[in-house]
């Protein structure tokens, strides 16, 4: 069993929705897994080159949970750009 807590997750990645915190804890991740997933979120190309391996396992699961909170840069959602948002087709 992991000793990962809500407070530890927030300390590592900042504020998250309760469902994301619950999902991260449910993966069985350790604080090291969350730190690695958060690092991948910020520096995926750099880490891939440095570590010489892709993200795997629980780290990948946590990364997907964290990534769900990121704005979609391709269509501008979440970036406050004119003409972006849910009612723009």
More confident residue, 78 or 37: 37
Percentage with pLDDT > 70 across the chain: 64
How wide is the angle at C-alpha 46 spanned by C-alphas 76 and 72, nearest 5°? 15
Q: Where are the domains of the chain?
A: 6-67
pLDDT at 63 over 70: yes
Single pTM value for the model:
0.69
The beta-carbon contacts of 47-53 under 8 Å, at least 24 apart in sequence, are: none
pLDDT at 14 over 80: yes
By C-alpha distance, which of 87, 26, 85, 35 is closest to 59? 35
DSSP per residue over 3-29, as a string? ---HHHHHHHH----HHHHHHHHHTT-
Phi, psi of 3 (to 5 degrees): -100, 20
């Amino acid at each position: 069993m992991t000793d990962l807590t809500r407070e530890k997750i927030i300390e590592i990645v900042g504020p998250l929705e309760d469902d994301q915190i619950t999902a991260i804890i449910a993966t069985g991740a350790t604080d090291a897994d969350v730190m690695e997933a958060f690092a991948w979120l910020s520096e995926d190309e750099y880490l891939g080159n440095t570590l010489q391996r892709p993200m795997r396992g629980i780290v990948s699961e946590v990364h997907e949970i964290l990534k769900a909170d990121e704005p979609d840069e391709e269509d501008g959602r979440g970036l406050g750009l004119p003409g972006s948002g849910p009612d723009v087709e």
